[in-house]
Structure 1
């Protein structure tokens, strides 16, 4: 009977469902833009991917002459290092007012990483709002342009998609739960059916 008891106890061991890959996708727009961090209770984060569609308007002080000169730009744009957009090129400007020029920059970028994932895990949010790199330069007719701090970036129509690829936490199979309960039931029946042996007196 002792062996039966041990076998039944061993049979109640739970088997976990094999873990498979899963993804969580979030899409946010505008700026500032924030995405929710990955919940560690969901499993193990394996990689993070970010894709961005940039569409923003930048303004510059330009009190030198009327008109809409070409604006030459050198630099990058991106709130995430995974999706940094090189906007180097020439842009046709428009007049916001007699002292301010504007340009519209459009582009896309994407990237992914399996390193430094801790910044994406936990409570709170991850900032995705793009910023112009501090090394970016702008000029018109060979004259450097300054960005008014109160206006830049004035309008942002950016769109970001962040994807968390992870391995879900393994869960017990439904069959394993049933097997465990059946094992406990059999053990209970075995213990209830045990009886205390009667001692028959031996005639003297």
Structure 2
């Protein structure tokens, strides 16, 4: 199965999205692959752009693998919020920003690998769901994560799983779909 690179600009900036009263920016910082888990480290910036306080923010996140056997709707659905949130914020005042660091883990056994010739590849999808009192609905975003492009105009590259444990520091992300609002 061929894996097409995801096109993006040369300067892959963090996904930054204004939607209603909340602006957020996700930046993926590294991906480590061990014998047990794939672990994505990230930084998330949240800014209240409204004149009202946002309360009881819950940020859910998960990591899945992109694969043709999973429907696009399922891949873009975002975490369902059935697990405890990655982060909780009691309140975000008007104009206030907060910066969060975290990790998303996916067991190696849960990865649905892609195969290209003899290579075993992994294309991670980082999914976010942000809920808060003061938002009309939950904010959901899905980003593909990959190694930075080899050259100008090239897309993100998948991660190899057949080369043993390693840490990838030169990574980026590309938002796959426009953020959607879902019932909280």
Report the TM range for the smaller structure's normalisation.
0.3 to 0.5
Relative to total residues, which structure has the larger strand share, 1 or 2? 2
TM-score, length basis structure 2: 0.36
Relative to total residues, which structure has the larger helix share, 1 or 2? 1
Structure of larger gyration radius: 1
TM-score, length basis structure 1: 0.33
